[in-house]
Structure 1
Amino acid sequence: MGLLYRGLNVSKCARIAVPLIAGIVALSAIHVLSNQTWTIPEQGGGDKLRLRQQQFLEFLDNAAAAEESPTMKRKKRLPDVINIGVEKCGTGFWRDILEHHPMFTFPKVMESQFFTYNWHKGVKYYTDQMPDAAQYHKVAEKTPSYFNFGSNDVPERVKSVVPNALLVVILCDPVNRTYSDFVHEIIMKSIPQGSDFDSYIPGIISTTTKLLEAKEDKDAINIIFKHLSGGPRHMLSTALYYYHVLRWFRSFDRKQIFFIDGEELVTDPGKVFEELQDFIGVPKLLLKEDFGKGPHGFYCIRPPKVVNVDGSRAVVNEKLDCLPQHAKGRTRFGNSGHEPSAETISQLRQFFRPYNEKLYRLLGRRFDWQ
């Protein structure tokens, strides 16, 4: 159990008041609040927590020095990190968590859609969507449509504009993703209310199977974008990950792409985000120890903050910060109202199996998809 520290009232304890650094993101401010309970990790937590505290405080000091420098200038610049998908696999949760890391800054718009639907507006438009960032920031954005929507040449577009960007891809169980997409399309009224998953999906399986049967990779990709990426058929074609990953590998070095198992993002997000920070090359300021189960049974984050404790700065955790149950995870919460039959699930598993196997060989790793 961590020790509990109740924030001090600044008006009564002016000696510990620390001026906030204007312009630094909320996480990087030093908070001294009244009536706030913080959880302080025990000192016995090991080298990992001690290193996090050291790096956190070093970042704040360096950021403060940078802000006070006469040469300091924030500007809009193209992203360092782009989450390109996959839709319905947790990209919103990914952004929500990473926003708690003080080195990351995101656009106000949730998804820029530049390389898919706003390409004609030009690079200046894209740059203008980005936040005003300091040199110590990592600019990040997420637009899941990049992975599989728009035109076939989206990877080439991204490469031409941000050739050195690091890409993040979340791949979740294709069957779960298809069902989640179906529920989403009903909510968005792209599929008529009252439509039944068990009646709707088999026809799409049959059409997709016939169109892709015995096709070479290049031909299959062309068919997907010509016949399967629009309308309800995209619910299946989006999860044909092998073909989409192949497209991205043709434009980007594999070392630039970080793949996340969407199921692991649900069951062990702390591990995922520690590995992600290593991949991007930033200090691990978000740790596995920061995550805990929320009221709906899924993991949330206790955001790390810096406070003054008895005159010294320390990294502590706030209360759990969870995504609203109504906003995300509808199918995982079991409240979608469109439960699929075991027979339809079995059909989907059989349909996706050969494509999953091709993906595993391409990536050199397997995912624990049933």
Structure 2
Amino acid sequence: MGYHTIIDIFQVLSLSRSRCKLLLFCTMLCFWGYLLYSQFGDRFYAHTVTRLSQRIISDNHISRGLLHEKNDMDNAGEDLEEVAGDVQDDEVDPDLSQDRFRRRFPQAIIIGVKKGGTRALLEYLRLHPDIVATGAEPQFFNRNYNKGLEWYRHLMPKSLENQLTIEKTPAYFITKEVPARIYAMSQSTKLIVVVRHPTTRAISDYSQALEKKPTIASFETLAFKNRSAGVVDSDWIAVQIGFYAQHLVNWIQYFPFKQLLVVNGDRLITNPAAELGRVQDFLGLRKLITEKNFFFDTEKGFYCIKKTEEDYKIPHCLGKTKGRAHPDVDPEALQQLNKFYEPYNRIFYEMVGEDFGWD
């Protein structure tokens, strides 16, 4: 619109000369303001967003770098089976618009098994910049489902759009209702289950219980209904968890095998880099966690994390409850338990297409 046109309009409206000048001045001021915004506004906005994103990513890397300081809290999830407390309202930063940085439902869940190596796997995955993970186990789909999905989402750490949120609750694998509940939340959820030799896993489970309550009966007493006849007590939960094939059937009714990865927990101990390579491929992540991120601690007897190649002086190992010594168990009882598990193991091998060599 030209200057003369604007003046003509004012004259038509029979405005006074002074009011006409005032309106003309205001109109031109808005016009020039619009030109300045068009020229520089987008550049300023882009610069601000870039600076803000860099600060968010930097903060996330710093928090992941403090892994070794959070072991006590994280161990409480599996060892003490603590459930996260009341959820705080999600505080929204007005500068972080367009859902760039917020709490999201997990795209991947470590569903089991207890004493299989789930804590180790989660701590290793935290090294990856594209992963954010919960601390304590949410225990949502098995214990807190009545609290609702929004309660669950608020337990998740905040993440950027290109990051993957992951949680772990080993009890999910053996709880019949959980597969349907996760499926109802998201049909595309990726599932990870870490398994070990079922007899070794049962002894590890017993060791944890023994540490909490030294007066409990011996492993042999709990594992067998009739020790002399070799009759195993399949009602004991430590034995039941080792029926991997039986539990897996519940999951494949809802999720295809392509969405489920079985991690070899024994190999995770002896060669963590190889198993982490498989996990990163499964999750569609860049292979950033390699053998350079691990070193064997001869004192502890297992691999520890190093964030960089030069990170030898500051070890990042799992908590003191990990790698605890197992009690002595009668070799004959071990042989009987191994034989008991053989048919279950063979079915499991066929289901997942891998022989774990437990027999």
Q: Which has the higher helix share?
A: 2
* Structure 1 counterpart of 2:315: 320
Give the distance between the partners of 1:261 and 1:25, measured in 2 at CA: 33
* Structure 1 counterpart of 2:65: none
Shift of 1:72: 6.3
Shift of 1:339: 1.0
* Structure 1 counterpart of 2:157: 131
Q: 1:203 aligns with which of 225, 236, 240?
A: 225
- Please list the CA deviations of residues 295-325 of structure 1 after superposition, one character each: whole Å capped at 9, or x if unmatched: 3121112113xxxxxxxxxx8646432113x
Give the distance between the partners of 1:27 and 1:278, measured in 2 at CA: 23
Q: What RMSD, in angstroms, separates the aligned Cα atoms of the two structures?
A: 2.6
- Residue 187, structure 1, aligned to residue 211, structure 2: yes
- Please list the CA deviations of residues 18-63 of structure 1 after superposition, one character each: whole Å capped at 9, or x if unmatched: x99433266746xxxxxxxxxxxxxxxxxxxxxxxxxxxxxxxxxx
* Structure 1 counterpart of 2:243: 240
* Structure 2 counterpart of 1:81: 108
| Larger Rg computed on CA atoms | 2
Q: 1:22 aligns with which of 32, 55, 64?
A: 55
Give the distance between the partners of 2:158 and 2:133, measured in 1 at CA: 9
Structure 2 counterpart SS, 1:129: coil
**Inter-CA distance 281–157: structure 2 relative to 1 (3 Å threshold):** same
Give the distance between the partners of 1:260 and 1:133, measured in 2 at CA: 25
* Structure 2 counterpart of 1:350: 339
Kept in 2, the 8 Å contact 1:274–1:288? The answer is no
Q: 1:90 aligns with which of 109, 112, 117?
A: 117
Give the distance between the partners of 1:260 and 1:71, measured in 2 at CA: 36
* Structure 2 counterpart of 1:362: 351
Structure 2 counterpart SS, 1:111: coil
Structure 2 counterpart SS, 1:82: strand
Give the distance between the partners of 1:25 and 1:125, measured in 2 at CA: 27
Shift of 1:183: 1.4
Amino acid at match of 1:86: V
Structure 1 counterpart SS, 2:345: helix
Identity %: 29
Kept in 1, the 8 Å contact 2:223–2:233? The answer is no
Give the distance between the partners of 2:56 and 2:122, measured in 1 at CA: 20
Amino acid at match of 1:156: A
Q: How many residues in Structure 1 have an aligned counterpart in Structure 2?
A: 273
Q: 2:193 aligns with which of 140, 165, 169?
A: 169
- Residue 300, structure 1, aligned to residue 324, structure 2: no
**Inter-CA distance 84–25: structure 2 relative to 1 (3 Å threshold):** farther
Q: What pairs with 1:33-48 in structure 2 (closer than 5 Å)?
A: none
Q: What pairs with 1:198-277 in structure 2 (closer than 5 Å)?
A: 198-203=220-225, 206=231, 208=233, 228=235, 233-277=236-280
The TM-score with structure 1 as length reference comes to 0.68
* 90-99 or 197-206, which deviates more: 197-206
Kept in 1, the 8 Å contact 2:110–2:168? The answer is yes
Give the distance between the partners of 2:207 and 2:58, measured in 1 at CA: 36
Structure 2 regions of 5+ residues with no counterpart?
1-51, 63-94
- Please list the CA deviations of residues 93-140 of structure 1 after superposition, one character each: whole Å capped at 9, or x if unmatched: 1111111111111124x2000110011111111111111111121100
Q: 2:169 aligns with which of 134, 137, 143?
A: 143
Q: Relative contact order: is structure 1 or structure 2 higher (C-alpha 8 Å, sep ≥ 6)?
A: 1
Give the distance between the partners of 1:328 and 1:69, measured in 2 at CA: 39
Give the distance between the partners of 1:140 and 1:269, measured in 2 at CA: 19
Amino acid at match of 1:329: G
Structure 1 segments (4+ residues) deviating >6 Å: none
Amino acid at match of 2:307: P
Structure 1 regions of 5+ residues with no counterpart?
1-18, 30-67, 210-227, 305-314
Kept in 2, the 8 Å contact 1:82–1:142? The answer is yes
Shift of 1:238: 0.5
